[in-house]
Chains A and B, each alone.
Chain A
Amino acid sequence: MKYINEFRSPELVSQYLAELSRIVTRPWTIMEVCGGQTHSLVKNGLLDLLPPEVRMVHGPGCPVCVTPIHLIDKAVHLALDRGVILCSFGDMLRVPGSGMSLLEAKARGADVRILYSPLEAVNLAREMPDREVVFFAVGFETTAPANALSVLHAHRAGLTNYSILASHVLVPPAIAAVMEDDAVQIQAFLAAGHVCTIMGTGEYQPLVERYQIPIVVTGFEPVDLLQGLLMTVRQLEAGEKRLENQYSRVVRPEGNPEAQAVIQEVFEVQDREWRGIGLIPASGYEVRERFAAFDANRKFAVQIPRASENARCIAGQVLKGIKKPHQCSEFGKTCTPQSPLGAPMVSSEGACAAYYHFAVA
């Protein structure tokens, strides 16, 4: 496929690896923020091919992993006890809530459906006017325009049976939260390419200045990741701290103005709780008052007790790059993708799942 195959070229990968090995003189710790990048690094075997001086730690960029347990409990409650059609990306289904996952709710008879797009959920609401349709709107900035569009489509169509359960998080405050943790030792970041496709690169300049670190906006294919790493290591070796954009074929400095406009119209920035990490100020999107009728939180006014996490899960430390998945005593023993203690073991972007499936240890 064009724009995919050529960025997986073994020849180019070898050339980039050789150049990285040639220029690196001392150890560097670099965090890739996005879970999609984590999986690409692990799945393509790049972690084993990098020069030993380049140490990758994996970031919090897995929206499924950081969705609070309380929201999963709410989704389960809506599906099981309130009779809604609960639609979700497939990733969310196995994530453990305090009582059960959405998959277990489905096994008990709840109408839980996996959809590829929130726009499909709006179509479902059109086709089934007698049923309430709720979309579990999980995601980073990349997914926010699609979820916002679904609200606008439903609004324009005059639908009264569609709403979203929003769990939207933002990357820049998460980078700040990681850097503010004293246990974290990170010297540079690969920023998430698709998030920047939407938001542009401007938000990252203040982080470069505040924390005096290089940030390189990077894509997802092996050649993208290695080029992003080469740009990063060149900066580190030269003592530079700049914002660079490796993924310029889809990331413009200003981002996507149309997408930013629909996000602005539907959502507003608010404080957000991140599963495993805690509250991060101004780190998420909530539905604006104007669209309250499309906000499942307000519409169903769910009151359920707030649950606590499984104490044996160290997801917070994994998500901040303080520990690697296999450094957890439960990894692969009491915690597996079939029976997870925490979300990073089940999400297709979770670091624990990547290490488990591709046997990194």
Chain B
Amino acid sequence: MCLAIPGKINSIEHQHNGMVRMAKIQFGSIVKEASLEMVPQAQIGDYVLVHVGVAISVVDEAEAQKSFEYLSMIGEIDELIEHTQV
């Protein structure tokens, strides 16, 4: 139910008398529409996390990198701690 998938904003348009900011969002080879009302800062080219037709967050590239660097980061911290204890 809480499944949400990251996709890239291809285009943005306003629907329903200009009241609703909607986007066409690319998920791999699939394009679907989603509301951008919850992410007013989102722009074309951004990756957004989409849940039941509503974008709920803009993916932060720098923060995403941290998962790949976490292991080496804690390795360095552990080394530092050991070093300090010696």
Contacts and interface: CB of A to CB of B under 8 A. Distances in A.
A and B are interacting partners = yes
A250 B49 contact: yes
Interface in A161-220: 192, 194-195, 197-198, 220
B27 A34 contact: no
Interface residues of A, number: 59
Contacts of A16: 71
A12 interface: yes
Contacts of A156: 16, 19
Contacts of B3: 36, 194, 220
Given A145-B38, A146-B54, A7 B47 contact: no
Contact of B6 (A1, A62, A118): A1
A332 B42 CA distance: 46
A227 interface: yes
B86 interface: no
A259 B35 contact: no
Contacts of B59: 3, 249-250
B14 to A, nearest CB: 13
B38 A142 contact: no
Given A3-B64, A248-B66, A256-B38, A118 B52 contact: yes
Contacts of A12: 68
Contact of B1 (A7, A62, A259): A62
Interface in B55-80: 56-61, 63-64, 66-68, 70-71, 74
Contacts, number: 133
B2 A117 contact: no
A157 B8 CA distance: 29
A143 B52 contact: yes
Interface string A1-30: 111101100001001100100000000000
B57 A250 contact: yes
A3 B56 contact: no
A143 B51 contact: yes
A198 to B, nearest CB: 6
Contacts of A220: 3
Contacts of A54: none
A315 B81 CA distance: 45
Interface string A113-149: 0001111100000000000000000111011011001
Contact of A36 (B2, B63, B74): B2
A309 interface: no
A194 B4 contact: yes
B20 interface: yes
Nearest to B37: A149
A142 B4 CA distance: 9
Given A3-B59, A197-B4, A234-B74, A116 B51 contact: no
Contacts of A120: 53
B44 to A, nearest CB: 15
Nearest to B30: A1
A146 B52 contact: yes
A194 B2 contact: yes
Nearest to A1: B28
B68 A6 contact: yes
A247 to B, nearest CB: 9
A246 B16 contact: no
B47 to A, nearest CB: 6
Interface string B1-42: 111111110000000100110000001100000010111100
A197 B56 contact: yes
A258 interface: yes
Contacts of A258: 37-40
18 contacts: A1-B6, A19-B71, A89-B52, A119-B35, A119-B54, A145-B56, A146-B35, A146-B51, A149-B38, A156-B19, A195-B2, A197-B4, A197-B56, A246-B67, A248-B60, A249-B60, A250-B49, A256-B57
Interface of B: 1-8, 16, 19-20, 27-28, 35, 37-40, 47, 49, 51-54, 56-61, 63-64, 66-68, 70-71, 74
